[in-house]
A and B are shown apart, each in its own frame.
Chain A
């Protein structure tokens, strides 16, 4: 099983000049937290990292410095998340592919392994939504039933062939998706199973996430190791 790791951040929402995947949590770059977790999974045979051109060498050096064992390549991503996945798919040779984001460093090895072991072709991690979500921007347009919604997390696993087809459709129609489960569902009407994730698997996006991330790292990741 091969993995596309999206490392496309440029630090805009983080209000930093350093891209968020290279910011430090527990003194270690966020992407290394993520890569070390992936590196401990036997079933993952290759990692395809997509990143802006200016960070390619820096990422290669980082991965070498931490002596990660899983074979990897670092390629230039696209102008959007969707384009980066599409570019990454060109390098995938396995029947199924996993997609993950570098800035979700607190995913557990067990969560990856659970997705890999599931018989289903298309699976995403997801969480119940503990708050109310409504449709609209300046005014409420529609009430949404919370119990029917879920929070899409990563990693996700897909049939490589089907995901490639979905991306072809999306490119032709110039339609943008924020993640791939909805794309494959939309174009191929494929069943996408939802595997329950943990609330610790946050996406480090804004400055407050760095504060929360330090706590998760110390109390959940390290605390877990000490049990």
Chain B
């Protein structure tokens, strides 16, 4: 029996990953976390039917609720084997226009939530080993004027992933980190409304990369920031 927690599963990369991983026989129980229960139900319907799928309609910024979900999952299923931190938040502004509230929300969703989910999950992973995957961004490794909160939060998750790779190695827990480039998500649409989304990388592309990475090529890709980008003719 294997249990998998996915945040941000109501849309975009999170939904695509939930669908892709539901085809794998390695996982039996899914816990999908996102704010929108209707969209989570839609994701559930798109997933392979043989799985147990539990929906948790919770704001990923609600840190206390995240701890409760992990503890419930760990106690109910006996172990947590896969944790995929995919939920993300971006509300880009220049330095002067970035409010404290914007900064805090960005860090809460992009950094604190993965940190808490990992901290709470590891005790349930230690016995059998497990997989943690954090979705960062190419914004975390290149300067992005006007994206200070988002890009620095993604740099933090890259650094967190590298440190945790070493720290959790002795438990047989592998930590992966991917940084997708431009991807056709709702978030991207809001930020670049004029872009032709059919020409850029799709969430399903990223989902396939993640599935391949953690199930097929698992041995040499952990512990480093993997950039996932589709070259596009300009």
Contact = CB atoms under 8 A, between A and B. Distances in A.
A214 to B, nearest CB: 12
Size class of the contact patch on chain A? 10 to 19
A67 B169 contact: no
Contact of B126 (A67, A218, A225, A226): A67
Contacts of B172: 225
A109 to B, nearest CB: 10
Chain A CB count within 10 A is highest, among B126, B170, B171, for B170
Interface string A63-86: 000110100000000000000000
Contacts of A218: 166
Interface in B114-142: 123-124, 126-127
A223 to B, nearest CB: 9
B170 A221 contact: yes
A1 B99 CA distance: 59
A59 to B, nearest CB: 17
A225 B169 contact: yes
Contact of B124 (A27, A67, A225, A226): A67
Contacts of A222: 166, 169-170
A94 to B, nearest CB: 22
B42 interface: no
B62 interface: no
B186 interface: no
Contacts of B52: none
A26 B126 contact: no
Contacts of B167: 26-27
20 contacts: A26-B167, A27-B167, A36-B126, A36-B170, A36-B171, A40-B127, A66-B123, A67-B123, A67-B124, A67-B126, A69-B127, A218-B166, A221-B170, A222-B166, A222-B169, A222-B170, A225-B169, A225-B170, A225-B172, A226-B169
A-B pairs, top 7 by smallest CB distance, nearest first, are: A67-B123, A225-B169, A225-B170, A222-B169, A222-B166, A226-B169, A221-B170
Given A66-B123, A218-B166, A222-B166, 7 more contacts: A27-B167, A36-B126, A36-B170, A67-B124, A222-B169, A225-B169, A225-B172
